[in-house]
């Protein structure tokens, strides 16, 4: 439990609530070509920025707890940072450290996995198999191939004789058609490791947005397709992974890796990688949102999302604990960061009335991830969480998504007087950005901008404050660029090669405060707020705008007070 926040004696108060608007995947582009944010007619956002103080915040790499500044930020670590006000080492860094120190291989979960698959079978039984399922890339957002390779090497050392890898192609956090750039060297790696009695091969796979990696219950059919493919070996058969990728690309012109259909590697018409009783399974994604549903399919006895058919008795482990409250999965290889004393917990302890809202695709981000990977509310009486159901269609076909419906609900909440703090996420910039369809991204930005205009008007009428920011970049970097020259990379047909991953670009922080009363510098444009900060500063900023003093160990607010203010003879260090 945390103590209530202390009142800021310098804060003069506002009539209305503080509104935190998270424009998911919207940053400041490095290149003019491919910056769909700058290319969009964002009339309302531009008008707000023109009369408000603003600053660029870091939203990637070490600023959000990732191993290096070469690592793209993502929505999960971004909302963690904004919600807890400090930077914690995140999934990729934790896993890399656990592998480097050997701690992962000394843990009970790994030992149980190995015990089940390294023990010699009885003469009449089959050789037990260690299965790995996960995102097959080095994007370092959900997973990393180096982690997978390290576990395969260690499993071989400890006597495992049969390994099958079930690959989920990326095309989202890495190049959109880069699958074979990973498949070919990995096949060489498996062949080199397949000595001393080890048989290690790819068993099945498909695109991450077609099988297995659904989240927030948006499309359980994805998980069902993955279950049938990985577990039962049901699906179109191929002799090799390369053959599967090349065949689908020929048959479905323009298909990108994330959408590749399911495939099963078979010999003589028989799948080589079905999951059977007595096997072990490691889901090697470290990020939780797209791990929970397939985990439920393996672990839950009373499972009703689809008919699993034969459910093999296996030793199942996730790379990390994906839900700390419900302790899912039951067995995991690396402990997640212990995030405590989040902004939400402090606000509840202080009696601040809160609304958190988004559509399905990002609902968990403004609730679970914002609250430090915590399911549920801190106070049922003070907090309301609202989920607007997302459309189950390709995002480029509905690029406005549910931003209008989200805004409709917030426009009811602002004048109601029911809430002191409202946080919302517009998913457009990220989800549509991942499609690589430039026109759709521009449409998504302009649709979102219309809603920002509606919100600004309501905030002004209510006498509130609106903080506009983002969790990472994406739509600001829609074309591949040559890393050395900065020039656009073109495809054979002369069109720019689409970039579907997040960017390394900074994101905005704009303070729209129509009834500003002098508590901080209100210089229009960049320069009025503190420079060189990351998005973890959002928590302290919102707490100050609510009229309270942030916890002393929170990363500093962006509000600039160049001279220590004096109140009642007490100097306050900001």
Residue 76 has pLDDT above 90, yes or no: no
Report the residue count for the chain: 574
Residues 440-452: pLDDT tens digits?
999 999 999 999 9
Give the confidence band of 370 by pLDDT, cuts at 50, 70, 90.
very high
Q: How far apart are CA 317 and CA 333, in angstroms?
A: 7
- Please give the pLDDT value at position 524: 86
Question: Residue 417 to residues 49, 126, 231, 247, 422: CA-CA distances in angstroms?
Answer: 26, 66, 52, 58, 11
Residue from 36, 101, 25, 95 nearest 66 by CA: 95
Backbone angles phi, psi at 391, to 5 degrees: -70, 140
> Does an H or E element contain 104, and which?
helix 103-106
Residue 74 has pLDDT above 90, yes or no: no
Backbone angles phi, psi at 470, to 5 degrees: -150, 165
Mean pLDDT of the chain: 93
Residue 511 has pLDDT above 80, yes or no: yes
Give the confidence band of 413 by pLDDT, cuts at 50, 70, 90.
very high
Alpha helices, H only, 218-277: 220-230, 241-251
- Say what the pTM is: 0.73
- Please give the pLDDT value at position 569: 39
Residues 168-220: pLDDT tens digits?
999 988 999 999 999 999 999 999 999 999 999 999 999 999 999 998 788 99
Stretch 519-523: mean pLDDT, rounded? 89
Residue 245 has pLDDT above 90, yes or no: yes
- Please give the pLDDT value at position 126: 82
Stretch 267-283: mean pLDDT, rounded? 97
Residue from 493, 490, 488 nearest 34 by CA: 488
Neighbours of 225 (CB within 10 A): 21
Which residues are known catalytic residues?
75
Domain 91-334 architecture = 3-Layer(aba) Sandwich (3.40)
Residue 124 has pLDDT above 60, yes or no: no
Which residues make beta-bridge pairs with 340? Answer: none
- Please give the pLDDT value at position 255: 96
- Please give the pLDDT value at position 2: 94
Structure tokens at 534: 């990351």
Domain 18-89+338-571 architecture = 3-Layer(aba) Sandwich (3.40)
Answer for the pair 260, 245: CB distance below 8 angstroms, yes or no. yes
Residue 572 has pLDDT above 50, yes or no: no
Stretch 67-78: mean pLDDT, rounded? 84
Domain assignments of the chain as residue spans, ordered by start: 18-89+338-571, 91-334
């Amino acid at each position: 439990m945390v103590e209530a926040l202390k009142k800021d004696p310098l804060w003069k108060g506002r009539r209305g609530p503080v509104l935190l608007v998270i424009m998911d995947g919207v940053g400041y582009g490095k290149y003019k070509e491919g910056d769909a944010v700058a290319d969009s007619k964002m009339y309302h956002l531009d008008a707000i920025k023109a009369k408000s103080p603003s600053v660029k915040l870091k939203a990637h790499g070490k600023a959000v707890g990732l191993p290096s500044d070469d690592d793209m930020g993502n929505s999960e670590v971004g909302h963690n940072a904004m919600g807890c006000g400090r930077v914690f080492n995140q999934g990729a860094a934790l896993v890399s450290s656990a592998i480097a120190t050997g701690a992962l291989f000394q843990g009970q979960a790994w030992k149980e996995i190995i015990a089940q698959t390294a023990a010699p079978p009885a003469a009449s039984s089959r050789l037990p198999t260690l299965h790995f399922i996960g995102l097959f890339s080095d994007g370092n957002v959900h997973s990393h191939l180096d982690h997978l390779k390290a576990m395969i090497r260690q499993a071989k050392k400890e006597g495992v004789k049969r390994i099958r890898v079930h690959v989920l192609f990326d095309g989202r956090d890495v190049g959109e058609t880069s699958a074979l750039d990973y498949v070919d060297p990995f096949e060489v790696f498996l062949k080199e490791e397949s000595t001393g009695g080890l048989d290690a091969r790819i068993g099945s796979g498909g695109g991450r947005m077609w099988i297995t990696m659904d989240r927030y219950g948006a499309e359980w059919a994805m998980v069902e397709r993955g279950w049938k493919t990985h577990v039962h070996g049901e699906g179109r058969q191929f002799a090799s992974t390369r053959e599967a990728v090349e065949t689908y690309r020929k048959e479905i012109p323009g298909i990108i890796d994330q959408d590749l259909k399911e495939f099963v590697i078979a010999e003589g018409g028989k799948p080589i990688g079905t999951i059977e009783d007595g096997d072990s399974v490691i889901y090697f994604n470290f990020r939780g949102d797209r791990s929970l549903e397939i985990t439920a399919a393996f672990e839950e006895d009373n499972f009703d999302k689809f008919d699993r058919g034969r459910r093999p008795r296996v030793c199942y482990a996730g790379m990390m604990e994906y839900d700390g409250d419900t302790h899912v999965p039951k067995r995991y290889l690396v402990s997640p960061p212990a995030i405590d004393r989040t902004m939400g917990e402090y606000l509840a302890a202080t009696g601040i009335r809160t609304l958190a809202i988004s559509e399905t695709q990002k609902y968990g981000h403004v609730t679970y991830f914002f609250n430090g990977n915590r399911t549920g509310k801190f106070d049922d009486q003070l907090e309301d969480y609202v989920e607007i159901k997302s459309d189950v269609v390709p995002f480029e076909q509905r690029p406005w998504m549910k931003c209008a419906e989200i805004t409709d609900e917030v426009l009811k909440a602002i004048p109601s007087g029911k809430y002191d703090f409202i946080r919302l996420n517009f998913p457009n910039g990220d989800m549509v950005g991942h499609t690589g369809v430039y026109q759709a991204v521009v449409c998504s930005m302009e649709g979102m901008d219309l809603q920002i205009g509606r919100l600004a008007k309501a905030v002004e009428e209510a006498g509130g404050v609106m903080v506009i920011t983002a969790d990472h970049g994406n739509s600001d970097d829609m074309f591949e660029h040559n890393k050395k020259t900065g020039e656009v990379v073109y495809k054979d047909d002369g069109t720019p090669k689409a970039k579907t991953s997040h960017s390394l670009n900074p994101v905005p922080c704009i303070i729209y405060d129509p009834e500003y009363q002098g508590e901080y510098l209100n210089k229009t444009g960049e320069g009025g707020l503190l420079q060189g900060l990351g998005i973890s500063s959002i928590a302290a900023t919102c707490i100050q705008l609510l009229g309270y003093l942030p916890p002393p160990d929170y990363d500093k607010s962006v509000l600039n007070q160049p001279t220590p203010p004096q109140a009642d003879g007490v100097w306050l260090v900001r």
